[in-house]
Amino acid sequence: MLRTSSPILAPIREKVEAGERLTAEDGLVLESPEAPLPEVGELANLVRERKNGNAGYYNINTHLNATNICVYRCTFCAFRSDLRDPKGYWMNDEQVLARGAEAVENGCTEMHIVGGLHHQAKYDWYRKVISLLNDNYPTLHLKAWTPVEIDWFARLTKKPIRWVLEDMKEAGLGSLPGGGAEIFHPEIRHQICEHKADASRWFETHREAHSLGLRSNCTMLYGHIEQPYHRIDHLIRLRELQDETGGLQTYIPLSYHPENNRLGIERKIEKPSGLMDLRQMAIGRLMLDNIDHIKAYWIMLGIETAQISLSYGADDIDGTVRHELIYHDAGATTPEVMSVADIERVIRETGREPIERDTLYRRVERDAESWRAGEKIVAAV
């Protein structure tokens, strides 16, 4: 039985209890400071437990950002580098392979691959990153390239997005991460990343990927210059895509970090509070009724907020992670890697049951030497 009692939330409570879809207007109510956060969280937790029970999912994963040199200048980005900046780097084949070897030695099931759009890199280099890793370390699931990158590859090759995805899939691409979404609404997108792939290209990429049998994730970067209606618009667009294709696995709300990037410095933006982080987690769970999983990315939120998030709608806290650069460049103070024992303890401390999953949400079964993907974890709809 729910304890929620705030009048402003009463109609929403009724809908959530009945399993009915919330409207954009409901979303704006959830955004309102008059909607008490603990009650919003309680409603999100109801949905979370209905879909995922007591599970707290994680995986053993690593990141690869094979270059940070980027033609774009998104104002929120602390990771990118100019071509001749001493901070810039561009990995060769040996460095990429070394990361694959390290990942496999450490039991990783997934490599998350994103990065800059190097002024001089040809499409073949990006493809080779995937084929080298896939050919040499076939047990690693390669979750790679946001729609911003796929759109860039389409420009480099002068081919359609579908062709790029088919070609990357042939090279070993396993699924798409959720990045590059930022805020879809043009009022904001034009101010923070005006040149890169717009919302329609982002959706086209995911739609095509799903039609090719690839699964993907989705994100929203919040807590900078956007307003609540931009965030709700963003979530509704994601929900509509999911109604159409069913290919989105996980939504990851991304909390803006203001250090070392133009947006934070020029507009003097403060980092979103922990309360804002929890509200966005809960709103994501409540609005995205057709997406199975909500992730509290501990690297970005901090471990404590990620733990609380497991009662505010989230059922997953990402993975052990190694080599994360993007949020650490923007001021994240979290560790760069967590051991399996630590991530399981972090989940268990919240009362949830830690479950190791692979990228496609299958239970991971391990023996001393190797691992295999077991049954698909089926979330209730």
Distance in angstroms (rounded) separating the CA atoms of residues 115 and 326 = 9
Which of residues 16 and 117 has its CB atom nearest to ligand SF4 in the complex?
117
Identify the residue whose tokens are 């999912």. 57
Which of residues 148 and 355 has its CB atom nearest to ligand SF4 in the complex?
148
Nearest distance from residue 65's CB to ligand SF4, in Å?
Answer: 8
**E strand or H helix at 182:** none
Backbone angles phi, psi at 329, to 5 degrees: -65, -25
Quick one: which of 233, 250, 247, 328 has its CA closest to 285? Answer: 250
Nearest distance from residue 265's CB to ligand SF4, in Å?
Answer: 15
Instruction: Could you list the beta-strand ranges (E) of 212-343.
Output: 215-222, 248-255, 293-294, 316-319
Nearest distance from residue 60's CB to ligand SF4, in Å?
Answer: 25
Q: Are 326 and 70 in contact (CB under 8 A)?
A: no
Distance in angstroms (rounded) separating the CA atoms of residues 91 and 86 = 14
Which of residues 79 and 327 has its CB atom nearest to ligand SF4 in the complex?
79
Distance in angstroms (rounded) separating the CA atoms of residues 161 and 335 = 36
Which of residues 200 and 367 has its CB atom nearest to ligand SF4 in the complex?
200
Annotated binding residue at 76? yes
* Residues of the shown chain interacting with ligand SF4 in the complex, contacts defined by CB under 6 A: 70, 72-74, 77, 79-80, 116-117, 148, 193, 196
Which of residues 196 and 352 has its CB atom nearest to ligand SF4 in the complex?
196
**Exposure class string for 232-266: b at 16+ Cβ within 10 A, else e:** bbbbbbbbebbeebebbbbbbbbbbbbeebebbee
Nearest distance from residue 180's CB to ligand SF4, in Å?
Answer: 7
Annotated binding residue at 74? yes
Annotated binding residue at 193? no
Distance in angstroms (rounded) separating the CA atoms of residues 55 and 162 = 35
Quick one: which of 221, 105, 204 has its CA closest to 148? Answer: 204
Nearest distance from residue 70's CB to ligand SF4, in Å?
Answer: 3
Nearest distance from residue 232's CB to ligand SF4, in Å?
Answer: 23
Which of residues 65 and 109 has its CB atom nearest to ligand SF4 in the complex?
65
Say which DSSP state 67 is in: B
Enumerate the known binding-site residues.
70, 74, 76-77, 182
Enumerate the known binding-site residues for S-adenosyl-L-methionine.
76, 182
